[in-house]
Amino acid sequence: MNKKITILIILICTLVVGIGVSLAYFAVNNQNDGNETNLNITTEQLGSILWTGMKVFTSYDLLPGQIGIQEFTIEKNSDNGIGIYEIDLAGVLPEEFGTDIEISLYKTTDPISNNVAVDVADPTLENETIYQEDSLNITGAPELVYQGTLTNNSQIILEQADFDVTTLEKTTYYLVYHYKNNGNQDNQQGKSFSGTISVRIINEKPSYCESHPETGACSILAIGETEELKFDETSDNNLRYIGANPNNYVSFNNELWRIIGVMNNIDDGTGNKETRLKIVRAESIGEYSWDNKVNGAGSSTSEYGSNDWSDSALQIVLNTGAYWNRTSGECPNIGENSTVSCDFSSNGLTEEAKSMISNAVWNLGGLSGSSNALNFHQTATVDEWYISERGIDVYRGRPVTWSGSIGLIYPSDYGYATSGGSNTDKNTCLSNALYTWNSYNDCYNNNWIYKNGTYQWTLTSMSVSPDSVFGIYSSGIINGYLTNSGGTSIFPSIYLNANITISNGTGSSFDPFILSL
C-alpha cells in the first residue's frame, strides 16, 4: 500500500557570452513521467488512512539557491482502525551534488494558521558571480518532524506516526527541498537528482470496536450521531448524550444511572487505552463537602481543606469508605474537619456493580479562578475546559492525574451535554463561557445534567487556590466553591469495564439499558 511521488529535476547549462559574468546556477526544468493522466491525482487509500498529494511539481523551475515545497495530506479513510503510518524518502543523487540537497518535513493539523511557503529572492551580483538564496516563510508554528540531506538510493524515514482513526485529524505535510547555492557548481551541469516519497501503513490492526462490536460502548458508538447523540469533536471525539432528557438511562447498582457518553482513549492505569462507557448516578447520594482536612493534614495547607482529589475526604468515602463498602460511616461536612453520619447500606455499591468497574486514569488539571487576575474560568468555553482538564495546571505541584474507580463529572461533561434551544442554539452555547450560561437559559435548561435548584460538585480544581474546586450552580453556570462548602450534591461517576455489554432496554427511564458482563 505505497504511494510514490517522483521529484525529477534536470539541470541544463546556460551560457552567458561577452559580459564576463559567471553563473552560480543553471536553468532547471521539471519533467513528468509521461503519464499525463496522473499529474494532478494522487489520492491513495491505504487501509484506514487516505493519502493525497501531487505526483509531480507544476510550473516550477528550481535553481541553486532556490527552495521547492511538496504538499500532501493524510486523513482517515474508515470509521475504525489503528496502527502506524510511515513516510519514507528515497533519492537518486549523483555524487557531484554532495550534500547540496537539503530536506525538511513539517506538519500541522491547522494549515490555515500554520503553513510553510517560499519567499523567492531576487538574483544578486557579487564578485562577478550571480547568487540567489530563497528563504522559507513559516506562518504560525508547524511542527518540524525531519531535517537532513537527500542521499543516493538510501531510504530515509521522515516520519512514523501512531494513528487511531477515531481521533485522527487531517494532517497537512510540507516537504521542503532546498537546492543549496554553493557558488560555482559547474560539476553539476548535465546532472539530475530525484526523490521518491512513499507512504505506508505498519502494523495496522482493527480498532477496539471492530474487535469488540458487542460491547456496550461500541454498540452505542455504532449508532452514530442522532438528535440525542453527538460527537464532541474534541481530540478524543467522544460520542455524548445531549438534550433535556435523552434516552440514556441505564440500570446499574439496582438503581438508575445515566450514560454520559462513549469515551475514547481511557487509560486503565497501565497505559492501555480503551473505549468505555462513562455513567453518572441519576440521583444524588447526599450533600457533603468535597474535602475539609485541617491545615497540615495530608495535602491540606488551608483551614478550608484541600483540592487534591487523590486524598480528598470525599474520594475516600466513594472509593474505600462507606459508599464503596455499602455500609454506614462518617462523611465530610461543612466546616473544619467536621463530619456527618452517612448511611449507604442500601444504596452503596453492590459486589455485582463493583465487578463492572475497573480503574481509570482521571485527569485533574484545573483552571485559574476568581482570586487570580487571569480569571480564565470566567471566559473559558467548554472546549477550553476540556483541554484544561487534561492539562497540568494544578496548585503547587499537586498530581495532574489519579487512578481509581469512582470520581465526579467534569465541567466539560456538563457543557457538552447541552442541545441548545430555539433562542440559543447548541453552537452558540458551546462558544460562550460556561461561567456566563445564566444569561442563556436554553443552554442549561436543554441539558440533562443540569438540575434546577441543585448545586453539584465537579472533579476540577481551581489551580490558583489550595482549597477551591468548581461546581455547577443552580443558576446554570460553572463557578468555584471552597472544598468544605455544604449544600452541594454528590453524583458519583464511573467508567464501566470495556467488556460490559448492553443486553436489553431502550434507554428510557421506564425501560433502561440492562448491562451484562
The least confident of 32-36, 150-154, 191-195, 204-208 is 32-36
Is the confidence at residue 108, as pLDDT, over 60? Answer: yes
Is the confidence at residue 129, as pLDDT, over 70? Answer: no
Is the confidence at residue 56, as pLDDT, over 70? Answer: no
Where do the H-state alpha helices sit in 302-425? 313-319, 322-325, 351-355, 382-389, 411-416
Rounded distance between C-alpha atoms, residue 81 and residue 49, angstroms = 9
pLDDT digits (tens, 9 = 90+) for 146-201: 999 988 877 888 999 988 887 889 999 999 988 888 877 788 777 777 777 888 88
Rounded distance between C-alpha atoms, residue 120 and residue 117, angstroms = 9
- Across the range 94-102, mean pLDDT stands at 87
> Who's near 146: CB < 8 A, 6+ residues apart?
103, 104, 105, 156, 158, 159
- Cross-strand pairs, 466: none
pLDDT digits (tens, 9 = 90+) for 371-415: 444 578 899 999 999 999 999 889 998 999 999 999 999 999 999
- Across the range 120-144, mean pLDDT stands at 82
Rounded distance between C-alpha atoms, residue 157 and residue 166, angstroms = 25
Greater pLDDT, 176 or 124? 176
- Cross-strand pairs, 503: none
Q: Mean pLDDT over all residues of the chain?
A: 86
pLDDT recorded at residue 171: 95
DSSP string, 82-143: EEEEEEEEEEE--GGGTT-EEEEEEEES-TTTSEEEEEPPPPEEETTEEE---EEEEES--E
Is the confidence at residue 370, as pLDDT, over 70? Answer: no
- Across the range 189-218, mean pLDDT stands at 80
Is the confidence at residue 23, as pLDDT, over 60? Answer: no
- Which DSSP letter does residue 243 get? B
pLDDT recorded at residue 55: 53
pLDDT recorded at residue 115: 95
Is the confidence at residue 515, as pLDDT, over 50? Answer: yes
pLDDT band with cut points at 50, 70 and 90 for residue 42: low
pLDDT recorded at residue 9: 38
Q: Where are the domains of the chain?
A: 3-205, 210-516
155, 96 contact by CB (below 8 A) = no
- Across the range 5-29, mean pLDDT stands at 38
pLDDT digits (tens, 9 = 90+) for 405-463: 999 999 999 999 999 999 999 999 999 999 999 999 999 999 999 999 999 999 999 99
- Cross-strand pairs, 76: 49
Is the confidence at residue 343, as pLDDT, over 50? Answer: yes
Nearest to 48 by CA among 161, 146, 132: 161
What one-letter code names the amino acid at 478? I
pLDDT recorded at residue 21: 42
Grid coordinates standing for 451? 438540575
489, 284 contact by CB (below 8 A) = yes
DSSP helix/strand/coil, 34: coil
467, 306 contact by CB (below 8 A) = yes
- Across the range 240-247, mean pLDDT stands at 98
pLDDT recorded at residue 30: 39
pLDDT recorded at residue 128: 64
Rounded distance between C-alpha atoms, residue 158 and residue 169, angstroms = 19
Is the confidence at residue 8, as pLDDT, over 50? Answer: no
Choose from 36-50, 85-99, 368-382 the range with maximum mean pLDDT. Answer: 85-99
pLDDT recorded at residue 61: 54
